[in-house]
Amino acid sequence: MSTVEDFQPQNWQASSTEALKISLIPAAEGAGALQFSPTFTYPIFGDEEQIYGFRDLVIHLVFDSVTFKPFLNVKYSATAGDDVDAQRDVIDKITPFLPEGDFIQRDEAAWVDAFMKERETFDINALGAERVDEYKGAADGATYGVYRAPLGQLAAADAAAQATNPGAQSPLVRFWKRIQILTLLFIEAATYISLEDEPEWELYLTFNEADRTLVGLCTAYKYWDYRDAGAFDSSEAPAYRKKISQFLVLPPYQGQGHGSALYNAIYRGWFRDSTVTELTVEEPNEAFDDMRDRNDLEMLERAGFFAEVPAEPAHSGDRLLVSDEWAEQMRHKYKLEQRQFSRLLEMALLHLGREPYFAVQVKRRICIKNRDALAELADAEQRAKAVSDSFELVKSDYLRILAGCTFAKGK
């Protein structure tokens, strides 16, 4: 029998972000599933992130935490009418983002059997990845390994092999296609990377070495460094910039230092590579920027950069503590992109107590960056106030970032 509530549209509308429940089945026998909600679902369910026509809708997307074999199940208590179709309105929207032919729907027993069988032979090293770093977890003391794999090259090899063997797929590419949906659900504006168009894609993965649980991932790629065309044309050695594209620590493992460990492992590897000239990041969010700033500052302090910053200008009367040439030399030494190094230099000046020079450095950058906007202000007093206000905001933010740093040698 229908009730008044049955005719109220809001009772049949659900947030897709709230309805979708992501779960990880731990490697340890008997351990409870780790369940969490996505941050974004608009790539799958549209900009409004709403699903209409169901009551008590729950979309279960479950992964084995070792093999990441996906399982999908949709549950609801009622539909708004015969024109509502769970297959069309929910399942058919999410399945295109899952690995074709490599997920199980509804049959939980079949899924458990499948991933348990895969676990028996699952080997991180057999994925085609090499371990490039390891560290002890700050929260649990466990050993974690950071692995790098030539994702684009493996995908290209698969494509070539499929000409004679249509089902050919490397273990690493299969694993990536299982986990890539997480980038859409937790990284704003993320899209699936096109492996076919770019063979230079690399994949970094962080695993718990004891139970083989995946903790974090990062995609990256390299491209030619064309900054000096003459030097580029005459150089026999290749020169590349490398760019971090997608970076994610899975939600159950966030806040435990894994993001910093993964970022530092990537930086150290690229820093040691003589063909890499610069580390860049593609559209970082605020949380990544903060993590990156803290780790870059701590790295510079350990490397002795703070000790290289002079106490006084090279020439008496100079308003800038360091010249642009000196800053550029240091930037290249540490393989950091220009905007990032400029900010790090400013934070170093603030931390080292070079406040008068810090103020000049920051205000100069503000004026250059906002030259056109400042020129539109009526008089010098307004321009000075605008610069001063911006400076105070920058200083406050720098102090916040510095407060989260751990420096070995202090000032």
In this structure, are 204 and 325 located in the same domain? no
Give the C-alpha separation, 190 to 202, whole Å: 16
Q: Which of 57, 56, 54 is nearest to 80 (CA)?
A: 54
In this structure, are 116 and 149 located in the same domain? no
Residue 295 included in any domain: no
Q: What is the pLDDT of residue 404?
A: 97
The fraction of the chain above a pLDDT of 70, given in percent, is 95
In this structure, are 163 and 109 located in the same domain? no
DSSP label of 135: E
In this structure, are 234 and 345 located in the same domain? no
Contacts of 90 (CB under 8 A, 6+ apart): 51, 54, 57, 59, 74
Helix (H) / strand (E) containing 25: strand 20-25
Residue 291 included in any domain: no
In this structure, are 150 and 255 located in the same domain? yes
Residue 337 included in any domain: yes
The DSSP secondary structure of 164-177, one letter per residue, reads: T-TT---HHHHHHH
Domain containing 24 equals 4-120
Mean pLDDT value of segment 67-85: 95
Mean pLDDT value of segment 33-51: 98
Residue 293 included in any domain: no
Q: What is the pLDDT of residues 177-229, one digit of tens each?
A: 999 999 999 999 999 999 877 789 999 999 999 999 999 999 999 999 876 55
Q: How far is CA 270 from CA 132, 186, 336, 348, in A?
A: 11, 26, 11, 23
In this structure, are 25 and 133 located in the same domain? no
The values of phi and psi at residue 163, to 5°, are: -65, -35
Six-digit token string for 14 = 């659900």
The values of phi and psi at residue 66, to 5°, are: -100, -60
Beta bridge partners of 150: none
In this structure, are 142 and 238 located in the same domain? yes
Give the C-alpha separation, 215 to 204, whole Å: 11
Residue 290 included in any domain: no
With contact defined as beta carbons under 8 Å apart, do 20 and 59 qualify? yes
Residue type, 301: E
The values of phi and psi at residue 218, to 5°, are: -150, 135
Q: For position 78, which CATH number holds? A: 3.90.360.10
Q: What is the pLDDT of residue 405?
A: 98
The total number of structural domains in the chain stands at 3
Listed residues 120, 153, 179: the one ending a domain = 120
Q: Would you tell me how many other CB atoms lie within 10 Å of the CB of residue 399?
A: 12
Has residue 86 got a pLDDT over 50? yes
Listed residues 224, 249, 283: the one ending a domain = 283
Q: What is the pLDDT of residues 338-375, one digit of tens each?
A: 999 999 999 999 999 999 999 999 999 999 898 888 88
115: Cα within 13 Å, side-chain hemisphere: 24
Q: What is the pLDDT of residues 91-120, one digit of tens each?
A: 999 999 999 999 999 999 999 999 999 999
Give the C-alpha separation, 341 to 322, whole Å: 13
Has residue 7 got a pLDDT over 80? no
Contacts of 195 (CB under 8 A, 6+ apart): 151, 152, 155, 156, 173, 201
312: Cα within 13 Å, side-chain hemisphere: 4
Has residue 1 got a pLDDT over 60? no
Residue 297 included in any domain: no
Q: For position 201, which CATH number holds? A: 3.40.630.30
327: burial class by Cβ within 10 Å (0-12, 13-18, 19+)?
Answer: middle
Helix (H) / strand (E) containing 147: strand 143-149
Q: What is the pLDDT of residue 370?
A: 87
- Region of poorest pLDDT, from 219-228, 265-274, 337-346, 391-400: 219-228
Listed residues 90, 120, 150: the one ending a domain = 120
DSSP label of 143: E
Q: What is the pLDDT of residue 168?
A: 86
pLDDT category, 4, cuts 50, 70, 90?
A: very low
In this structure, are 334 and 398 located in the same domain? yes
79: Cα within 13 Å, side-chain hemisphere: 11
In this structure, are 251 and 356 located in the same domain? no
Residue 292 included in any domain: no
Contacts of 341 (CB under 8 A, 6+ apart): 327, 330, 331, 334
Q: Which of 309, 288, 409 is nearest to 361 (CA)?
A: 309
Q: What is the pLDDT of residues 124-146, one digit of tens each?
A: 888 899 999 999 999 999 999 99
* Pairing mode of beta strands 13-15, 58-64: unpaired
In this structure, are 52 and 150 located in the same domain? no
Summary mean pLDDT of the chain: 93
Residue 92 included in any domain: yes
In this structure, are 248 and 324 located in the same domain? no
The DSSP secondary structure of 160-221, one letter per residue, reads: HHTTT-TT---HHHHHHHHHTHHHHHHSTT-----TTT-TT-EEEEEEETTT--EEEEEEEE
Q: Which residues are catalytic?
A: 282
In this structure, are 394 and 271 located in the same domain? no
The fraction of the chain above a pLDDT of 90, given in percent, is 81
* Pairing mode of beta strands 214-224, 202-208: antiparallel
Contacts of 302 (CB under 8 A, 6+ apart): 408
